[in-house]
């Protein structure tokens, strides 16, 4: 049975819950096995530390694990990953819109500049969030750092405003 929608035909089997559970158990098992092996190997190698050449073994092992992890993920997803291609799935994802035309076309440079301005305000939220969770506690406990923290945050906001006013002055918001 299949469903017709705006993007083409999508198989109902795509939900594939039976397969997913099996895959999940398999992955759990392999990761546990891998963890056990690596932990043992590291503790074994740590005992060899006094010997100068053997003491590099953890570094080599680390590099091997890094390469092996990347390669294993690629290989595993090829082997055990379900592959049910359809015209709907191979289509470009455009935030839920039906894609129009080619992606290799020129955009107005304004979009780039607007994206940069977005970053100015996007980054500050990342910084505000931890600040807001910590700051009330420092004030309540009358910690010595409460004052400097507030000053630093105000400085940070002022710096962001400088970036904003700079962009304004350079005419970024003039949208002709």
Q: Which of 7, 42, 58, 88 binds another protein (CB under 8 A)?
A: 58
DSSP secondary structure string, 59-128?
Answer: HHHHHHHHHHHHHHHHHHHHHHS-----TTTTSPP-TTSPP-S-S-S---HHHHHHHHHHHHHHHHHHHH
Residue 3 lies near another protein (rule: CB under 8 A): no
Q: Which of residues 32-51 bind another protein (CB under 8 A)?
A: 49
Q: How far is the CB of 21 from another protein (least distance, A)?
A: 36
Nearer to another protein, 59 or 115 (CB): 59
The Cα 53–Cα 70 span in angstroms is 27
Contact 120, 156 (CB under 8 A): no
Task: Identify the helix (H) or strand (E) that includes residue 3.
Answer: strand 2-5
Number of residues that bind another protein (CB under 8 A): 15
Beta carbon of residue 28, minimum distance to another protein (angstroms, whole number):
27
Site for another protein in 111-150 (CB under 8 A): 144-145, 148
Which span sits near another protein by CB under 8 A: 10-18, 83-91, 128-136, 168-176?
168-176
Contact present, 110 and 175 (Cβ < 8 Å): yes
Question: Can you give the binding site for another protein, defined by CB under 8 A?
Answer: 49, 55-56, 58-59, 144-145, 148, 159, 162, 165-166, 168-170
């Amino acid at each position: 049975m299949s469903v017709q929608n705006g993007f083409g035909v999508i198989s109902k089997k795509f939900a594939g819950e039976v397969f997913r559970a099996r895959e999940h158990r398999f992955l759990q098992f392999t990761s546990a096995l891998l963890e056990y092996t690596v932990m043992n190997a590291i503790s074994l190698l740590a005992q060899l530390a006094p010997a100068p050449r053997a003491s590099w073994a953890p570094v080599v092992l680390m590099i091997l694990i890094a390469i092996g992890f990347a390669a294993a993920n690629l290989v595993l997803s090829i082997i055990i990953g379900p592959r049910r291609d359809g015209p709907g799935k191979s289509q470009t994802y455009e935030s839920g819109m039906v894609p129009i035309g080619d992606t290799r076309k020129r955009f107005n440079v304004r979009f780039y500049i607007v994206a940069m301005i977005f970053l100015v305000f996007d980054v500050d939220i990342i910084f505000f969030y931890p600040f807001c969770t910590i700051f009330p506690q420092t004030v309540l406990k009358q910690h010595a750092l409460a004052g400097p923290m507030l000053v630093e945050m105000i400085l940070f906001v002022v710096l962001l405003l400088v970036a904003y006013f700079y962009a304004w002055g350079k005419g970024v918001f003039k949208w002709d």
